[in-house]
Amino acid sequence: MNNPDFDSMTREELRQYMLEHRDDKAPFEFYLDKFRNPNNPIYPAPQSLEDMSYLQKIIKQQKPEG
């Protein structure tokens, strides 16, 4: 079995590889490590309706104007 060089793949090539090899977790983990922005905020899961309301406000703020 070949060990593909994920580092040399473009984002689209890696995505296509993941779609074709859904049981292989290695490319998915590589994708998360390479393309995750460490500066992105992490929000806790909502625990109440008030939390859901707050989460909806955050999502609206994050959406690009279009």
For the chain, which residues make up each domain, given as ranges? Answer: 6-62
What pTM value is reported for the model?
0.53
Question: CB–CB of 4/16 below 8 Å?
Answer: no
pLDDT band (50, 70, 90) for residue 66 = low
pLDDT band (50, 70, 90) for residue 41 = confident
Count of C-beta atoms within a 10 Å radius of residue 8: 8
Q: Which residue has the higher pLDDT, 65 or 54?
A: 54
